[in-house]
């Protein structure tokens, strides 16, 4: 009988010791606090740094270059004589560079008004999850454009600065759900030269854009800009674009329809003349190819 009591006492001692060790472990875990997920930047709200016409909240990866061709044909309502606009074309060829995860710069050349343009985009706040999460991305874009066409009146004294224009934007948005992304883009365009003194050198606009994922590789995208104080020297219209993003490996191929001809912010926001009600719509495509120009850092 004494043998059994010794066995029971030994088991009881082991249980007490185990309970004490478990209690100590729980106390240590309480001191460390609950596990909190790390902060992670929300990516792929859009599949490229542009929606269709305007900038998106997306950024290129650091050390990459995006070679981008924006192409617009003529108006569809021109009919068969111009092969529904395919006999005419405007384009912009650009190079965008990812400097940091929230900093991007770019340059481009457009056939429309023979314009050169350059810009930078910086996001002090990016949409994120986890510890210190932020609900949306807030990016600021600033750029300059230079018109290269001949002077309308070469006999008078013309100034180089008259060729210049500037744009300033705040792009605010992000992923609403896994399949839907939205953004708003308040914009100011400044033109050094305007035709009528009654007009302002500053043109104000508000843009909206979105992306709806239809499948793993195809998305519906759209953007629209409402111009608050359009110039009165021409019958300018608000620019709108709608299209489909198609991912093919390292390319993002976009087919779209728009009433705009210009392909930088000054051109398409303040100089769009296509009237949607008259069928003055252009078919176009944007082609993007990203290259790694700086060796990735290994962790």
Q: Looking at the domain assignment, is residue 298 inside a domain?
A: no
Q: What does the pLDDT average to over 25-51? A: 73
Q: Is 65 exposed, middle or buried (0-12, 13-18, 19+ CB in 10 A)?
A: middle
CATH, residue 230: 2.40.160.40
Confidence of residue 122 (pLDDT cuts 50, 70, 90): very high
How much is the mean pLDDT over the chain? 86
Q: In the prediction, which pLDDT does 15 show?
A: 38
Residues 18 and 156 in one domain: no
pTM for the model stands at 0.83
Residues 228 and 259 placed together within one structural domain of the fold: yes
Give the 3-state secondary structure percentages of the chain, helix then strand then coil, rounded to 5: 20, 45, 35
Query: Distance (Å, rounded) from C-alpha 179 to C-alpha 57?
Result: 16
19 or 285, higher pLDDT: 285
The reported pLDDT for the residue numbered 17 is: 41
The pLDDT of residue 28 is above 70: no
Statement to judge: residues 164 and 17 lie in one domain = no
The stretch 91-112 carries a mean pLDDT of: 96
In a domain, 299, yes or no: no
Q: List the domain range (segments joined by +) for residue 59.
A: 40-292
- Together in a domain, 20 and 58: no
Tens digit of each residue's pLDDT (9 = 90 or more) over 213-262: 999 889 999 999 999 998 887 789 999 999 999 987 767 889 999 999 99
The band of 13, judged by pLDDT with boundaries at 50, 70 and 90, is very low
In the chain, beta strands by DSSP E: 40-41, 64-75, 89-100, 103-110, 116-125, 128-129, 137-146, 164-175, 180-191, 202-213, 218-227, 240-248, 251-258, 282-292
Same domain, 155 and 54: yes
Query: What pLDDT does 20 receive?
Result: 46
Q: Same domain, yes or no, for 248 and 183?
A: yes
CB-based burial of residue 266 (10 Å sphere; 0-12 exposed, 13-18 middle, 19+ buried)? buried
CA dihedral 48, 49, 51, 52 (to 10 degrees): -90
Q: Are 26 and 159 contained in the same domain?
A: no
- The reply to whether 22 and 126 lie within a common domain is no
Q: Are residues 171 and 276 in the same domain?
A: yes
Q: How many separate domains does the chain show?
A: 2
Average pLDDT over residues 74-103: 86
- Do 284 and 144 sit in the same domain of this protein? yes
In a domain, 256, yes or no: yes
pLDDT above 70 (res 297): no
């Amino acid at each position: 009988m004494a043998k059994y009591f010794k066995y029971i006492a030994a088991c009881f001692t082991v249980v007490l010791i185990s309970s004490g060790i478990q209690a100590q472990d729980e106390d240590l875990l309480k001191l460390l606090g609950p596990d909190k997920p790390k902060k992670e930047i929300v990516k792929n709200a859009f599949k490229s740094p542009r929606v269709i016409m305007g900038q998106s909240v997306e950024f290129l990866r650091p050390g990459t270059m995006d070679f981008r061709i924006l192409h617009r044909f003529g108006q569809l309502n021109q009919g068969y004589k111009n092969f529904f606009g395919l006999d005419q074309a405007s384009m912009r060829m650009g190079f965008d560079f990812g400097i940091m995860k929230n900093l991007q710069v770019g340059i481009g050349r457009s056939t429309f008004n023979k314009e050169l343009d350059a810009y930078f985009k910086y996001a002090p706040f990016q949409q994120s999850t986890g510890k210190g999460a932020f609900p949306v991305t807030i990016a600021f874009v600033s750029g300059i454009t230079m018109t290269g066409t001949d002077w309308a009146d070469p006999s008078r004294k013309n100034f180089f600065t008259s060729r210049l224009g500037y744009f300033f934007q705040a792009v605010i948005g992000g992923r609403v759900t896994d399949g839907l992304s939205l953004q708003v883009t308040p914009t100011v365009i400044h033109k050094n030269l305007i035709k009528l003194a009654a007009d302002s050198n500053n043109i104000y606009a508000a843009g909206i854009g979105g992306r709806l994922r239809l499948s793993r590789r195809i998305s519906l995208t759209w953007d629209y800009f409402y111009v608050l104080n359009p110039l009165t020297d021409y019958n300018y219209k608000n620019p709108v674009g709608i299209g489909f993003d198609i991912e093919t490996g390292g390319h993002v191929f976009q087919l779209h329809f728009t009433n705009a001809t210009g392909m930088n912010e000054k051109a398409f926001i303040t100089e769009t003349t296509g009237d949607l009600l008259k069928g003055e719509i252009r078919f176009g495509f944007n082609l993007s190819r990203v290259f790694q120009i700086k060796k990735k850092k290994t962790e």
